[in-house]
A = this chain, B = another copy of it.
């Protein structure tokens, strides 16, 4: 059996035809920001899907899963996503059913990533785990008893906006001290800049988290210190999340994690330090086993399995 996974980003919409075993058979994409109305956008998506199916001799699909900013599992809508050029409450489920009568399931991208890990990746068979995704922001998806936690609104699992440090850094959400302000790509850069300033050293004008990662792996002390600070903050957030659902594993994915040891070694130390003693040995930090360029489509496709 096959399914379709769609990753809706502000710039591009990526689609993939996914086989039962998690292999992406074929992909296509259209530019999200070329549209300001839902109807033509969905029409073009459905055309792409039909082509993907025809080109690969697939007659039927199990459903369409969509990972989207503000994607709401309960309503099948994208609710006022600030970074989309199509505004308002967008009822994808209804619109897609005009073309194809298959289940359409939406969720936000971090939830989709968590579910993808469970269906196709390293979380197969796990009943309780949490996924943290580091990138432009910090997202999370939480699985309890083998089910994604959507909460009463569909908006559960926003651990990037857990306030880690009261009255800490200003967050784009309007509040202060959110985890995201420390462990997103931007937060990591800010920490590096602050450490450079503390040392009275000039900071390169253009610096990103990838460069700070490269510098750390070449032994640069400020870069190494940056990752230690980030690891301490992320380790605390992870340990705090364990007091909620006592997961078997916490998964980690996203660009900044590619730095490897400079983040992961101090992260394990921080996690162990901050973990409440009753959970010792019961929860392990693991890296996502899905490929970075596949996780969005696989995560979206995995959402279909929730309807079964």
Chain A positions within 8 Å of B, measured between CB atoms, are: 127-128, 142, 144-145, 147, 149-159, 161-166, 173-175, 236, 239-241, 243-248, 274, 276-279, 282-283
Q: A144-B144, A175-B276 are in contact. Are A240 and B151 (CB under 8 A)?
A: no
B156 adjacent to A274 (CB under 8 Å): no
24 chain-A/chain-B pairs, Cβ below 8 angstroms: A127-B152, A128-B156, A142-B245, A145-B147, A151-B245, A152-B247, A152-B248, A153-B279, A154-B246, A156-B243, A156-B245, A156-B246, A158-B278, A159-B243, A159-B244, A161-B276, A162-B240, A162-B243, A163-B240, A173-B276, A174-B277, A175-B276, A241-B244, A244-B245
| Most chain B CB neighbours (cut-off 10 Å) among A155, A165, A173 | A155
| Alpha-carbon distance A149/B147, docked complex (angstroms) | 12
In the A-B complex, list the 3 residue pairs whose CB atoms are closest, starting with the nearest.
A151-B246, A156-B246, A152-B248
How many identical subunits does the complex contain? 2
A152 adjacent to B283 (CB under 8 Å): yes
Query: In the complex, which of the residues B128, B151, B162 contacts A128, with contact meaning CB atoms closer than 8 Å?
Result: B151
| Alpha-carbon distance A163/B235, docked complex (angstroms) | 12
B149 adjacent to A144 (CB under 8 Å): yes
Query: In the complex, which of the residues B127, B128, B157 contacts A244, with contact meaning CB atoms closer than 8 Å?
Result: B157
Query: In the complex, which of the residues B147, B157, B247 contacts A151, with contact meaning CB atoms closer than 8 Å?
Result: B247
| Alpha-carbon distance A161/B236, docked complex (angstroms) | 12
Q: Give chain B residues whose Cβ lies under 8 Å from the Cβ of A246.
A: 149-157
| Alpha-carbon distance A249/B254, docked complex (angstroms) | 33
A158 adjacent to B282 (CB under 8 Å): no
Name A247's closest neighbour in chain B (CB-CB). Answer: B152
| Alpha-carbon distance A244/B244, docked complex (angstroms) | 8
Name A127's closest neighbour in chain B (CB-CB). Answer: B152
Q: Give chain B residues whose Cβ lies under 8 Å from the Cβ of A236.
A: 163, 166
Q: Give chain B residues whose Cβ lies under 8 Å from the Cβ of A155.
A: 246, 278-279, 282
A244 adjacent to B156 (CB under 8 Å): yes
Name A241's closest neighbour in chain B (CB-CB). Answer: B244
| Alpha-carbon distance A244/B238, docked complex (angstroms) | 12
A295 to chain B, nearest CB (A): 22
Q: Give chain B residues whose Cβ lies under 8 Å from the Cβ of A162.
A: 240, 243-244
B173 adjacent to A142 (CB under 8 Å): no
Extra contacts, 14 of them, besides A159-B244, A163-B240, A165-B166 (Cβ < 8 A), are A142-B244, A144-B149, A153-B246, A153-B278, A155-B279, A156-B243, A157-B243, A157-B246, A158-B243, A163-B236, A163-B274, A166-B236, A174-B277, A175-B276
Q: A158-B243, A163-B240, A174-B277 are in contact. Are A128 and B152 (CB under 8 A)?
A: yes
A131 to chain B, nearest CB (A): 13
| Alpha-carbon distance A243/B180, docked complex (angstroms) | 13
Q: Give chain B residues whose Cβ lies under 8 Å from the Cβ of A175.
A: 274, 276
A125 to chain B, nearest CB (A): 12
